[in-house]
Amino acid sequence: MRAILLVALLLQAQIFAALAAQAVDQATTLDRPPALAPGQAPPLPTPGPLAEPRSSAQVGFPAALTASVTPPGTQTPAIVALGEKLFFERRLSGDGAVACATCHDPARAFTDGRPTSIGIHGRAGQRNAPTILNALYNKTQFWDGRVDTLERQAALPITNPDEMGSVSIEDAVSRIAVDQDYRSQFTQAFGRAVNQQDMLSAIAAYERSLVSFDSPFDHFIAGDAKAIPDSAKRGWELFNTKARCNLCHALLDNQRDVTLFIDNDFHDIGIGILKAGVDALAGHAQRVLKQQVPLDVDAAAISSEISVLGRFLVTRRPSDIASFRTPGLRNVLVTGPYFHDGSMQTLWDVVDHYNKGDGISDPWLDQDMQPLALTEAEIDDLVAYLASLTSPQYKKLGEEEYARQLAISKTTRPQRDTARAFGPKHPPPPPPF
Ligand code: HEC
Ligand code: HEC
């Protein structure tokens, strides 16, 4: 086992080293995404330096972990290059207009900047597009963890009628199989003709090359005390103590986690309840439980109002109602708007939400949510800490976005509720069924 790991590690290191050198500070503007005419899909970004596979020579890069989540032999330069091309391939969609990159734009840290994504024919979905950066480390994919590998994940948007809308994967494959360039690239990468399995493997291999560390926070942890401002240092302390963020954004509760800020678990932190309300959620859940035919979770998650049930759609356990996967926090400054429904505009809103975090109306609220009594200065410190997780490619963009969010936060704090933040913890009401 150790030998296999070592080989994988060496391979990974070699490939990452062989890949394009890093350019720093490539993205410079984070304009709001363009408004779209009815029936129109968003424009497809062009692949640029930010789309390139990332080097492993980054401070904070978790070499052993990366090797353990990379199937041996999958990351050759030919396969990764093919995967990148496929990620930008609009012919994989039913109308030839939408590619993976439409919603996962490298210039926006592989998100789309919209509350919820818009796909083929301008169809709006129910969920916010997560970043692809560091998605290789997720134990499950999607906000509800409905698939467990990047290969299986990649198949779903291609045929989802509101995303890329191909009638079948075979149909999408047949459209690229007529292209001479793809034929020779598949032969070079896999030694055989264009086929579905290799296509999905190539996309996943490209995604596994998108590792993103080397942030000021990583330099701070590596010993450079000046890498982050004092406010971010205070924020990091709060994160692990009074603000209780580490209870979910860390692998273990009792040990500081400096790598991904995930727990591979699902929680209801009270986002869905804000829009849907208890009665609607309970009603949706009871209908799902009564349903005889198997549920198409992907279709429901992207396109239906029961999307708000989250993990429950996968497990059908009432305790999973409105639960979503704890997302990683790297580059979070440039991946807004926030949460599974993109309902919050700024990191100040996010922290305001946690600050009041009690169970006044949400029967399924995670027991680790409670009022935090964070002061305004402490909220600013937490935001400064989150901002320090921005990788160098997005430094300039992050500075602009920080200024933009700060300006909004000066006039608009829709989630701020000081009385609740400094009030007692209310036990959540009992579940309705
Ligand atoms: C129309 C917009 C859209 C397109 C096109 C699209 N995605 Fe996504 N992607 C999303 C949304 C929205 C989610 C979250 C959906 C959910 O959790 O239910 C997502 C989730 C993901 C995730 C899971 C990340 C995580 O942290 O859970 C990966 C990986 C991913 N997409 C890769 C791809 C690939 C590969 C393609 C092309 C084959 C693609 N996407 C096409 C919008 C899109
Ligand atoms: C009980 C577990 C839990 C705790 C405690 C917690 N989080 Fe989260 N966090 C989550 C989950 C789950 C989500 C996704 C929820 C959703 O979208 O419905 C999330 C989402 C986020 C997001 C949005 C990320 C994105 O890409 O949209 C940020 C930022 C965040 N958390 C920061 C924090 C901070 C800062 C703290 C401490 C003040 C904290 N979290 C405490 C579980 C938790």
Please tell me the distance from the alpha carbon of residue 213 to that of residue 328, in angstroms, as a whole number: 12
Best residue among 240, 242, 269, 351 to mutate for probing ligand 2's pocket (most ligand atoms within 8 Å of CB) is: 269
Residue 1: per-residue pLDDT = 45
**Under CATH, domain 2-208 is a member of which superfamily?**
Cytochrome c-like domain (1.10.760.10)
**Distance (Å) of CA 211 to CA 26, 131, 304:** 16, 11, 32
Average pLDDT for residues 9-15, to the nearest whole number?
47
Predicted confidence (pLDDT) at residue 16 exceeds the cutoff of 60: no
Residue (of 212, 221, 239) closest to 350 by Cα position:
239
Residue 35: per-residue pLDDT = 87
CA-nearest residue for atom 22, ligand 1, is 142
Residue 379: per-residue pLDDT = 98
pLDDT band at 34 (very low <50, low <70, confident <90, very high): confident
Predicted confidence (pLDDT) at residue 81 exceeds the cutoff of 70: yes
Residue (of 45, 32, 37) closest to 97 by Cα position:
45
CA-nearest residue for atom 40, ligand 1, is 100
CATH architecture type of domain 215-433? Orthogonal Bundle (1.10)
Please tell me the distance from the alpha carbon of residue 69 to that of residue 355, in angstroms, as a whole number: 35
Residue 274: per-residue pLDDT = 87
Residue (of 276, 281, 367, 288) closest to 321 by Cα position:
281
Residue (of 367, 358, 366) closest to 417 by Cα position:
358
Residue (of 248, 406, 275) closest to 343 by Cα position:
275
**Distance (Å) of CA 112 to CA 116, 129, 274, 405:** 9, 7, 23, 17
For the Cβ of 165 lying below 6 angstroms from any atom of ligand 1, the answer is no
For the Cβ of 97 lying below 6 angstroms from any atom of ligand 1, the answer is no
Taking each helix axis as running N to C, give the angle between helix 347-356 and helix 376-387, from 0 to 180 degrees, rounded to the nearest 10: 130
Average pLDDT for residues 159-177, to the nearest whole number?
97
**DSSP three-state, residue 176:** helix
Task: Encode pLDDT of 150-161 as tens digits.
Answer: 999 999 999 999
What per-residue string of b and e applies to 329-358 under the rule 16 or more CB within 10 Å gives b?
bbbbbbbbbbbbbbbbbbbbbbbbbbbbbb
Instruction: Give span(s): CATH 1.10.760.10, the chain.
Output: 2-208, 215-433
Handedness of CA 252, 253, 255, 261 (dihedral sign): positive
Average pLDDT for residues 349-376, to the nearest whole number?
95
Best residue among 104, 148, 158, 159 to mutate for probing ligand 1's pocket (most ligand atoms within 8 Å of CB) is: 104
Residues in contact with 131: Cβ distance below 8 Å, sequence separation at least 6, in sequence order: 104, 109, 110, 111, 328, 331, 335
Best residue among 260, 350, 369 to mutate for probing ligand 2's pocket (most ligand atoms within 8 Å of CB) is: 350
- How much of the chain, in percent, has pLDDT values that exceed 70? 93
- Specify whether the CB–CB gap between 121 and 41 falls below 8 A: yes
Residue (of 167, 119, 125) closest to 301 by Cα position:
125
Please tell me the distance from the alpha carbon of residue 382 to that of residue 380, in angstroms, as a whole number: 6
Residue 7: per-residue pLDDT = 45
Tokens of 95: 């109308």
* Cα-to-centroid distance, 103 and ligand 1 (Å): 7
Residue carrying the six token digits 């075979």 = 170
DSSP secondary structure letters along 122-141:
G-B-SSPPPP-TTGGG-SSB
> Mean pLDDT of all residues in the chain?
93
DSSP H or E segment with residue 216: helix 216-221
Predicted confidence (pLDDT) at residue 10 exceeds the cutoff of 70: no
- How much of the chain, in percent, has pLDDT values that exceed 90? 87
* Cα-to-centroid distance, 287 and ligand 2 (Å): 28
Please tell me the distance from the alpha carbon of residue 116 to that of residue 28, in angstroms, as a whole number: 23
Residues with CB under 6 A from ligand 2: 243-245, 247-249, 267, 269, 271, 324, 326-327, 329, 332, 335, 338-340, 350-351, 354, 366, 368-369, 382
Task: Encode pLDDT of 275-317 as tens digits.
Answer: 899 999 999 999 999 998 889 999 999 999 999 999 999 999 9
Task: Encode pLDDT of 86-114 as tens digits.
Answer: 999 999 999 999 999 999 999 999 999 99
* Cα-to-centroid distance, 371 and ligand 2 (Å): 14
pTM for this model (two decimals):
0.94
Average pLDDT for residues 195-206, to the nearest whole number?
98
Residue 31: per-residue pLDDT = 72
Predicted confidence (pLDDT) at residue 12 exceeds the cutoff of 90: no
Counting from 1 in the atom list of ligand 1, the atom nearest the Cα of 128 is: 12
Please tell me the distance from the alpha carbon of residue 319 to that of residue 296, in angstroms, as a whole number: 20
Residue 29: per-residue pLDDT = 58
Average pLDDT for residues 116-140, to the nearest whole number?
97
Higher confidence at residue 13 or residue 139?
A: 139
Tokens of 234: 């205070």
SS3 track for 329-387? CCCHHHCCCECCCCCECCHHHHHHHHHHCCCCCCCCCCCCCCCCCCCHHHHHHHHHHHH
Residue carrying the six token digits 């210039």 = 107
For the Cβ of 331 lying below 6 angstroms from any atom of ligand 1, the answer is no
Please tell me the distance from the alpha carbon of residue 4 to that of residue 10, in angstroms, as a whole number: 10
* Cα-to-centroid distance, 413 and ligand 1 (Å): 29
